Amino acid sequence: MLRSLFIALSQNRKLRSFSERSAVGRQLSGRFVAGMSVEDALGACERVNREGIAVSLDSLGESVREESEARASAEIYHRLLDAIAERGLKANVSVKLSQVGMDFDPALAERIVGEMVEHADQANSFVRIDMEGSPYTEATIAMTERLAARFPGRVGTVLQAYLFRTEGDAERLLGQGIRIRLCKGAYKEGPEIAFPAKVDVDANYVKLMKRLATFSKNGTGVFCGIATHDEVIVDQMREFVREHRVPKSAFEFQMLYGVRRDLQRRLAAEGYGVRVYIPFGPEWYPYFMRRLAERPANVLFLAKNFFKN
Ligand code: FDA
pLDDT tens per residue, range 19-32: 878 888 888 888 89
DSSP-assigned letter for residue 130: -
* pLDDT for 263: 97
Q: Report which protein residue has its CA nearest ligand 1's atom 9.
A: 230
Domain ranges of the chain: 1-33+281-308, 34-280
303 is in an annotated binding site: no
Q: Is 184 in the pocket of ligand 1 (CB under 6 A)?
A: yes
pLDDT tens per residue, range 151-206: 999 999 999 999 999 999 999 999 999 999 999 999 999 999 999 999 999 999 99
Helix, strand, or coil (residue 169): helix
What amino acid positions are annotated as catalytic residues? 130, 181
Direct distance between the N- and C-terminal alpha carbons of the chain, in angstroms, rounded to an integer? 30
Residue closest to 30 by CA, chosen among 230, 297, 287, 255:
287
- Ligand 1 atom at shortest distance from the alpha carbon of 205: 51
Q: What mean pLDDT is predicted for residues 63-67?
A: 91
* pLDDT for 307: 59
* pLDDT for 9: 86
Helix, strand, or coil (residue 32): coil
Of the pLDDT bands very low, low, confident and very high (cuts 50, 70, 90), residue 220 is: low
Q: Report which protein residue has its CA nearest ligand 1's atom 8.
A: 230
Q: In the predicted model, is pLDDT for residue 305 greater than 80? A: no
Please provide the average confidence, as pLDDT, over all residues in the chain.
93
Q: In the predicted model, is pLDDT for residue 238 greater than 50? A: yes
Q: What angle do CA 87, 32, 42 make, to 5 degrees?
A: 10
CATH 3.40.720.10 assigned to 34-280: no
Q: pTM for this structure?
A: 0.94
Q: In the predicted model, is pLDDT for residue 309 greater than 50? A: no
* Residue of 53, 96, 144, 228 to mutate, ligand 1, most atoms within 8 A of C-beta: 228
pLDDT tens per residue, range 254-304: 999 999 999 999 999 999 999 999 999 988 888 888 888 888 777 776 766
pLDDT higher at 6 or 278? 278
Q: What mean pLDDT is predicted for residues 28-52?
A: 94
Q: Which of 14-18, 39-43, 256-260 has the lowest mean pLDDT?
A: 14-18
Q: Are 173 and 130 in contact (CB under 8 A)?
A: no
pLDDT tens per residue, range 78-105: 999 999 999 999 999 999 999 999 999 9
Q: Is 189 in the pocket of ligand 1 (CB under 6 A)?
A: no
Helix, strand, or coil (residue 123): coil
